[in-house]
Structure 1
Amino acid sequence: MTLNYQISGQGSPVVLLHGLFGSLENLGGIKRELENQFQIIAIDLPDHGRSPHSQAFSYVHYSEQVLQLLNSLDLTNVTLLGHSMGGKVAMSLAMHAPNQVAQLIVADIAPVAYHDRHSGIFAGLNQVDLPTLQDRRQADAQMAVHIKEPGVRQFLLKSLAQEQGKWHWRFNLDLLQRDYSKITDWPFSALRYDGPTLFIKGGQSDYLQAAYKDTIAAQFPRSQGRIIADAGHWLHAEKPAAFCKIVRDFIRANETN
């Protein structure tokens, strides 16, 4: 399996890992902001974007696939930046291959298990009748039965593709739905990563909570946190300038230490 990726810019390597139902395009704004100072490696995770589909979900498998790609590119001492599910992949990779990771940046996710947050999205995706679909407008209307937020539907529609006259989701919907409990889980609470780590929280998001502080400190003893006010779970898209400044400052601070 070879993951789809894009490389741009020059400098120390920064690896971007997107979240559930997404693709490397979701972090395109961050890539454009940072590629004038860093070498950016944007990756489609397995079962997403233009990367191959897998037989089962596991964070070990996902992080191993990313590590294999980095090894094939002769990249070491990378900065890992992951959002949401991609943040969990980044944390897993850092814990399992710490010598490959110079520093870790986790956007709005914690190393904990979460309850179901996507039942409405799965219902909306399953509402789309792909064999009879005429266009994206029809898909949007079908999803709207279960997904009321236009922005969420537009995000999902970015992964709707048509090839040889047939519509399909680029992400592996069947697998993601079947293995959803593994996506929300966190099986590595006994592991730790001792490198510099930054958790960035959206001020209006409840994914990163104060109650997780001790749990985070136990697994990432050199971690620190920043909050972006007036931003939700999609903090990198809502406040890109603030997000990128925090990222730049953290990387530069650790490069000079």
Structure 2
Amino acid sequence: MKLFFRKTGEGQPILILHGVFGSSDNWFSISKMIAENGYAVYALDARNHGQSPRSEEFSYELMADDLNEFIEDNHLEKPVIIGHSMGGKTVTHFAMKYPNKFSKLVIVDIAPKFYPSHHGHIIQGLNSIDLANLKNRNEAETQLAKFVSNVGERQFLLKNIYRTEDGKFDWRINLPVLSREIYQIGGDFTDVHEVLQPVLFLRGGESGYIYDEDIPAIKKIFPNATIETIEGAGHWVQAEKPTEFVQSILNFV
């Protein structure tokens, strides 16, 4: 699959993979901050997200293959790859399947373990929005607020609504497929291979996604992993502490 991407800057290639319900658009500011230090930053849209193609097929193995295809199509040599949440799991699958295609990894606030599905309220809320009869974004937010109480989370999710050329509203995400396959987002790793390249795990100090007891599982796959905590940040580390986030990446790279 040919993924949509946004490129910022010139220099050593750094790839960014977003989380579920996200897109490359969410990473514009971070990409610019990194690129200003002499890097070519490629922020990608995963399949069924943003402006990348839609597909009835959705799995981490496929998304790892999509990433490999992107690297080959763009003739990128040993890029650094950053993945947040779902993007971090995609990167982990990619690293085990294509161990010679990258130089370093940054995995943001996700561990190589099973996470019970916790997006049910989001799926319900998004599906409750009647785009065909939607008059404006305020109506969409009012409806979504019945399911998602956090204002910032609602604003993030509603970035997936856009106006088409004929003035109607549509989704940037493939909502039917994500609704059907949401259980896969938290999936475990059944075929584990050791990855020897340097890997930085960045976790939010106030997040509940990576605990100290997860470190042995991380080290089993990534024996050369470093785990760094950004205090005062939750799961959205890059949005809540952007300066600290970028500095950690620059120090590691």
Query: TM-score range with shorter-chain normalisation?
Result: over 0.9
RMSD: 1.0
Matched residue, 1:139: 140
Matched residue, 1:242: 244
1:211-250 matches, within 5 Å, as: 211-250=213-252
SS in 2 for 1:101: coil
* Superposed CA offset, 1:166-202 (max 9, x none): 3221111111111112111023452221110010000
Per-residue deviation, 1:117? 1.4
For structure 1, the residue ranges without an aligned partner over 5 or more in a row are 252-257
Per-residue deviation, 1:210? 1.2
Matched residue, 1:17: 17
1:71-150 matches, within 5 Å, as: 71-150=72-151
Identity between Structure 1 and Structure 2 (%): 36
Per-residue deviation, 1:116? 1.6
Paired AA for residue 15 in structure 2: V
* Superposed CA offset, 1:109-135 (max 9, x none): 011110121111111111111111111
For structure 2, the residue ranges without an aligned partner over 5 or more in a row are none
* Superposed CA offset, 1:81-106 (max 9, x none): 01110111111111111111101000
SS in 2 for 1:93: helix
SS in 1 for 2:100: helix
Per the normalisation by structure 1, the TM-score is 0.95
Paired AA for residue 120 in structure 2: S
Matched residue, 1:202: 204
Paired AA for residue 227 in structure 2: G
Distance 1:23 1:140 in 2: 19
Distance 2:183 2:15 in 1: 26
- Is the contact made by 1:200 and 1:226 (CA closer than 8 Å) also made in structure 2? yes
Aligned residues: 251
- Is the contact made by 1:18 and 1:82 (CA closer than 8 Å) also made in structure 2? yes
Distance 1:135 1:68 in 2: 38
Distance 1:21 1:180 in 2: 11
- Is the contact made by 2:96 and 2:192 (CA closer than 8 Å) also made in structure 1? no
Distance 2:72 2:192 in 1: 26
SS in 1 for 2:220: helix
* Superposed CA offset, 1:120-168 (max 9, x none): 1111111111111111000000101111111111001111012123322
Distance 2:105 2:76 in 1: 15
Paired AA for residue 116 in structure 2: H
Structure 1 segments of 4 or more deviating over 4 A? none
Distance 2:93 2:102 in 1: 11
Distance 2:42 2:117 in 1: 30
1:170-209 matches, within 5 Å, as: 170-209=172-211
Matched residue, 1:58: 59
- Is the contact made by 1:11 and 1:39 (CA closer than 8 Å) also made in structure 2? yes
Distance 2:167 2:234 in 1: 37
Distance 2:137 2:153 in 1: 14
Paired AA for residue 21 in structure 2: F
